[in-house]
Amino acid sequence: MKTLILRSQPNNVWLGKVWTPVLCVGISVALFADEFPSRSSLLATPFLIVALFGASLAIVELRDGVLRYRRLFKWAILRKDEIVSARVECSSLVGSIRLKRFLFPWGRLYFVLDANLDPNPFHKGDYPLLRYLRGEPVVEDPQADLPKNRAKRRQVIAAVVGALCYILWQLFVSWRLSKFEQAPPIRPPGTAWLEILLKISQLLNSVEFLYIAAAVFTFLAIYQYRRPDAWIYAFLVGVCLPAILRRWLGV
């Protein structure tokens, strides 16, 4: 009899527990380090909270009928009679488990989801690990690898959509910047957040960030191109390529 093994998806673990905290801390330092400890530096608080939340996400694993989780290095057993409910918090990335006890620091156990068996991004998703936590029948991953040609076509479409989203974003930022330059000397409501928006855009357009992100996402898009969720990496590659092209052309 085949042993049922369910585990938080490694790619999601890297995205949620590593890249998200690093990015949020980097944004906080880049935008607000020079203003510390002024009142403006308090605007870094939301980024730091998101970084802490990402670092505290748990990895959940079911192996040989034993359910366990870890946040850092030590595994802890999670008994089924402790679980009250489980749900998706952030599609394809974060789920949560409500226990009969309060779990520091968020109350619930927030964890990285396993692979989504439903590739449609507009659906709620189908996660075997979440099914198990809810006491529902577990549908094992049929390894819904797409046919080769269909998988490649989907990757190309996702990359094109990503490029279009980047272009639209740049047009939006340019439009808001023109409005900001025409504004009167008195700071209108929301100007601080507009400045943060522009600084984040500049940070994400830095040469170092673009090259590293494009290399990582390209590798993932090619290596896992037949996975149902591989379109996400192709989409992000599409976002990075126009930005790199702009740097080369000096636009």
Specify whether 159 is located in the same domain as 236.
yes
- Rounded to whole angstroms, the Cα distance separating 24 from 89 reads 19
Rounded CA-CA distance 190/112 in Å is: 34
Q: Report yes or no: 94 and 16 within 8 Å, Cβ to Cβ.
A: yes
The region of weakest confidence among 97-101, 140-144, 164-168 is: 140-144
Is the pLDDT at 110 greater than 90? The verdict is yes
37-93: per-residue pLDDT in tens?
666 667 778 888 999 999 999 999 988 888 899 988 888 888 888 889 888 887 778
Domain identity same for 64 and 180: no
The one-letter code for the residue type at 101 is R
Same domain flag for 127 and 33: yes
Is 109 in the same domain as 70? yes
Residue 194 and residue 217 in one domain: yes
Residues 173 and 125 in one domain: no
Q: Tell me the per-residue pLDDT of 208-234, one tens digit each, with 9 for 90 and over.
A: 777 787 888 888 777 766 666 677 888
194 vs 211, more confident: 211
Residue 119 has pLDDT above 70, yes or no: no
Which residue from 127, 121, 150 is spatially nearest to 226, judged by alpha carbons?
A: 150
Cis, bond preceding 105 (omega within 30 deg of 0) = yes
Whether the predicted pLDDT of 32 surpasses 90: no
pLDDT interval class at 143 (50, 70, 90): very low
**How many domains does the chain fold into?**
2
Q: What is d(CA 1, CA 129) in angstroms, rounded to the nearest whole number?
A: 19
Question: What per-residue confidence (pLDDT) applies to 57?
Answer: 93
* Helices and strands (H and E) in the chain: how many: 8, 7
Give the dihedral sign, CA 235/240/246/249.
negative
User: Whole domain around residue 176: which residue ranges?
Assistant: 148-249
In a domain, 110, yes or no: yes
